[in-house]
Amino acid sequence: MRQLLVIQPSALGDIAHGLQVVGALRAQQPDWQVSWIVRDIFAPLVRASATVDRVFVFRRHGGVRGFFALMREVRQHRFDAVLDMQGLLRSGLMLKWTHAQRKIGRADAREGATFFYDSTIAAPEPPVHPLERLLGFCPVLGAEPRLAGPLEFRHGSKLTLSFMEPWRGQRPVLMFPDSGREERKWNGFGALASLLVRECGRKVVWAGTHYQPCREAFPDGAFLNLTGNTSLTSLTSLISAADWVFSNDSGAMHLAAAMGARTIGIFGPTDPQVRGPYPLTSATNHAIQAPVGDLRLLPAKEVFARFRRIEAQTGALPTP
């Protein structure tokens, strides 16, 4: 078996993209055994991935001592190739300290990380989707830059979530109303949830690591707010059990798309052609952008109407 090390400590969306790239590589060259350096908070997700064999945990708050402890562990292994997918000084230093025949990074890496690379992947002219950029690692290793299909996670990550069971004959709609940046947060998720419950008889579940209040009133059993109470270990199970996923431009959106879930991204100032759920042309991936990029100008009724049109076009409307 050939040994590959991937350095992509964070964040959620970037890790989802990296897992897709590794899945593409292993589908064409199954003799790779894959190790991964990842931050402690994201380690459960990478451990559960069917494309990763070994995980090295980077503890961000472990200081210099923690960094060198990690690298001592990594240096106990020899790799045929190391890929620095993050492209920052810290990840470049991690790559430098590995025992590897080939040390490959990004031509657009920052903070001087390129100094530590033996070779780099090309930096496509912007605008380009982050996943398309990372797929450039495949040709360097002799593989085609094409995705292999939805991400899969090991059985142990598939929790039994009774609250995600079908309600009135339909699986719940899952929403991620949070985002890492304020300008990407749409304030219409509550009104949209109300429309889905009242007009479609759907159950709606909110999820996310930070609590988001919802002031709408719902019938018993029609709505569940798990924001602020969503663990990373349950994230893939939540997505797998959902009929549709609605999300701001966030890591959760990219993970849902990577898993093949029917995903609708809500976009404001960012361009969905560059940041949208990938593949952009997939029948399961859709993006709705606010007028002139201002999420305050996007009413919930418009998103609901677009959703109903998407359901009709894809044949996803429930049978009366």
d(CA 91, CA 206) in angstroms, rounded, equals 34
Query: Tell me, what's the pLDDT at 74?
Result: 98
The reply to whether 187 and 105 lie within a common domain is no
Cα Rg, the chain, nearest whole Å? 20
**Residue 161 shares a structural domain with residue 286:** yes
Q: What is the pLDDT of residue 158?
A: 58
What is the rounded average pLDDT for all residues in the chain?
94
Q: Are 1 and 76 in contact (CB under 8 A)?
A: no
Domain boundary among 140, 168, 192: 140
Phi, psi for 99 (deg, rounded to 5): -95, 105
Average pLDDT over residues 18-40: 98
Q: Please tell me the predicted confidence (pLDDT) of residue 191.
A: 98
> Does residue 297 carry a pLDDT above 80?
yes
Tell me if 200 is assigned to some domain.
Answer: yes
* Adjacency order of strands within the sheet including 99-106: 54-58, 32-39, 2-7, 78-84, 99-106, 119-121
Residue 74 counted as domain residue: yes
In a domain, 151, yes or no: no
What pLDDT, on a 0 to 100 scale, did the predictor assign at position 123?
Answer: 82
The string of DSSP letters for 63-76 reads HHHHHHHHHHHHTT
- Domain interval for residue 248: 156-314
Q: Give the DSSP H or E segment for 255.
A: helix 251-258
In a domain, 163, yes or no: yes
pLDDT over 90 (residue 228): yes
Which residues does residue 38 pair with via DSSP β-bridges, in sequence order? Answer: 57
Beta bridge partners, 247, equal 176, 265
* 125 & 228 share domain: no
Query: 118 and 165 share a domain?
Result: no
The answer to whether residue 32 scores a pLDDT higher than 80 is yes
What integer pLDDT is reported at residue 320 of this predicted model? 32
Query: Cα(120)–Cα(6) distance, rounded to whole angstroms?
Result: 14
Which range has the worst mean pLDDT, 87-101, 144-158, 203-217? 144-158
Q: Beta-carbon neighbour count of residue 283 at 10 Å?
A: 12
pLDDT of residue 319: 36
- Predicted confidence (pLDDT) at residue 159 exceeds the cutoff of 80: no
3-state secondary structure of 143: coil
174 in Cβ contact with 246 (< 8 Å): yes
Tens-digit pLDDT profile for residues 262-289 = 999 999 999 999 999 998 889 999 999 9
Q: Which residues neighbour 247 within 8 Å (Cβ) at sequence distance 6 or greater?
A: 175, 176, 253, 256, 263, 264, 265, 266
Within a domain: residue 10? yes
Residue 167 is assigned to a structural domain of this protein: yes
User: How far apart are alpha carbons 155 and 37 in whole angstroms?
Assistant: 22
Residue 49 in any domain: the answer is yes
Q: Say what the pLDDT of residue 233 is.
A: 87
Percentage of residues in the chain having pLDDT higher than 70: 97
Pair (165, 307) in one structural domain: yes
Check residue 108 and give its pLDDT.
94
Nearest to 306 by CA among 320, 287, 293, 285: 287
211 pLDDT above the threshold of 80:
yes
Q: What is the pLDDT of residue 142?
A: 97
3-state SS, 161-208, equals CHHHCCECCECCEEEECCCCCHHHCCCCHHHHHHHHHHHHCCCEEECC
Residue 229 φ then ψ, to 5°: -140, 35
pTM of the shown model: 0.95
Q: 199 and 309 share a domain?
A: yes
Average pLDDT over residues 97-104: 98
Encoding tokens for residue 71? 């690298």
Query: Does residue 252 sit in the same domain as residue 225?
Result: yes
Same domain, 133 and 168: no
CATH no. for residue 21? 3.40.50.2000
Q: How many domains does the chain have?
A: 2
Tell me: do 118 and 205 sit in the same domain: no
User: Does residue 147 lie in a domain region?
Assistant: no
The share of the chain scoring above pLDDT 90, in percent, equals: 88
Average pLDDT (181-204) is: 96
